[in-house]
A = this chain, B = another copy of it.
Amino acid sequence: MARLVMKFGGTSVGDLDRIRNVARHVKREVDAGHKVAVVVSAMAGETNKLVDYCRAISPLHDAREYDAVVATGEQVSTGLLALTLQSMGIDARSWQGWQIPIRTDGAHGAARITGIEGDRLIERIEGGQVAVVAGFQGIAPDGRISTLGRGGSDTSAVAIAAAIHADRCDIYTDVDGVYTTDPRIVSAARRLPRVSYEEMLEMASLGAKVLQVRSVELAMIHGVRTFVRSSFDDPEAIRAAGNQPVGTLICDEDEIVEQQIVTGIAYSKDEAQISIRRVADRPGVAASVFGPMAQANINVDMIVQNISPDGSTTDITFTVPQTEYDRAISVLEDNRDVIGYSSIEGAQDVVKVSVIGVGMRSHAGVAAAAFRALSDKGINIRAITTSEIKVSVLIDAAYAELAVRALHSVYELDKATSA
């Protein structure tokens, strides 16, 4: 008997039939004796409709009112799921962010959870009542509804799991787990039975799109064992097979017995490269470039600055989201006098491909193998960044699939290993 959080996204609660399927998954766990809190998103399409309303009224709308409007999507789906569970004879009750309460900071529209009072929820679910909790929202210090920003329901689920000391947080999604890479690109991609928090964090931020980055961070901080699984699996089939979860467990490194050196290959297409030529090689020049970027709220990702070839000037290369490319260029042009450079070059047809694995901490040669594999395929590397558990390269977009396949193969990720 365990305490579980089950999270279902917008597609999983997209209509009443799908909500009924979600309820069957919940019933399966309840019948197995587990104590359950469910976190749900808004029905697919609803949030977009509400966001469109707000945007149509004014592009620069008040975030407090935006929050009040869009948070209704989850309120509806919690109520409908609670009703559906009740119709199956399961005691259930819906809870909005302000009722629990799920406290957030005051950044309306993109709030962060600051604390959840879990005691009453624990009491309820231990008493046998399923708690159906609205994802994506909380209550801000001003007493008004806040939302966590798009996709925030994963984060809600993990935060609820931490608050009620859940044994596991199951994220039901449209894929059945985390793969060594995108199976649409590499057919031999394998589902990973376990991934460490750190690896998942890199994968999430590099575009694996299975989980929200913030939710993985929270899971790591609070040690929430998070399980990615498919909401399309048939509840009765799972029940018949002994109610064993199938998917990928995101957990502490120590829980992963047979650690691979490289766990997966991720890629991100939403990248644009900007190079500033011949900036003065003096203290403060990086600040003069990235200060204005931060002020303009442009998220800068890879930053590469090499040593000066001539002792007086150098080149700085960095990437920004493709949607911010034009804005980033104009910020640099506006600040030309302050920064001082000869020219700006840019490329929008670029992708970032990354090799991820906690094992590379203790293994030399992982990066070298990547560079060799890419070189063998004639792929030019535009920029490189590395972290303890990751090597990322920026390459021309045309080579994205070729690079992912080459890297997937060079680290022998195609080969089946025992789970």
A144 at the interface (CB under 8 A from B): yes
Contact, CB under 8 Å: A99 / B61: no
Contact, CB under 8 Å: A64 / B93: yes
> Could you tell me which A residues sit within 8 Å of B by CB distance?
16, 19, 50, 53-54, 56-58, 61-62, 64-66, 68-69, 71-72, 75-76, 78-80, 82-84, 86-87, 93-94, 96, 98-99, 143-144
What B residues does A98 contact at CB under 8 A? 98
Partner of A83, one of B54, B79, B93, B96: B54
In the assembly, what is the distance between CA of A119 and CA of B78, in Å? 32
Q: How far is the CB of A62 from chain B (nearest CB, A)?
A: 5
State how many copies of this chain the complex holds.
2
In the assembly, what is the distance between CA of A98 and CA of B95, in Å? 14
Q: How far is the CB of A124 from chain B (nearest CB, A)?
A: 13
Contact, CB under 8 Å: A75 / B68: yes
Contact, CB under 8 Å: B66 / A83: yes
Q: How far is the CB of A18 from chain B (nearest CB, A)?
A: 13
Contact, CB under 8 Å: A99 / B69: no
Contact, CB under 8 Å: A82 / B56: no
Partner of A62, one of B16, B19, B66, B86: B86
A-B contact pairs, 21 of them (CB 8 A): A16-B53, A54-B79, A57-B80, A58-B83, A61-B86, A61-B87, A62-B82, A62-B83, A64-B93, A65-B79, A65-B80, A65-B82, A65-B83, A66-B83, A68-B78, A69-B76, A69-B80, A72-B75, A72-B76, A75-B75, A98-B98
In the assembly, what is the distance between CA of A58 and CA of B82, in Å? 11
Given contacts A16-B53, A57-B84, contact A94 B79 (CB under 8 A): no
Residue of B nearest to A82 (CB): B65
What B residues does A83 contact at CB under 8 A? 54, 57-58, 61-62, 65-66, 69
In the assembly, what is the distance between CA of A64 and CA of B91, in Å? 13
Partner of A16, one of B57, B80, B93: B57
Contact, CB under 8 Å: B69 / A75: yes
What B residues does A82 contact at CB under 8 A? 62, 65, 68
In the assembly, what is the distance between CA of A144 and CA of B99, in Å? 8
Partner of A80, one of B53, B75, B86, B87: B53
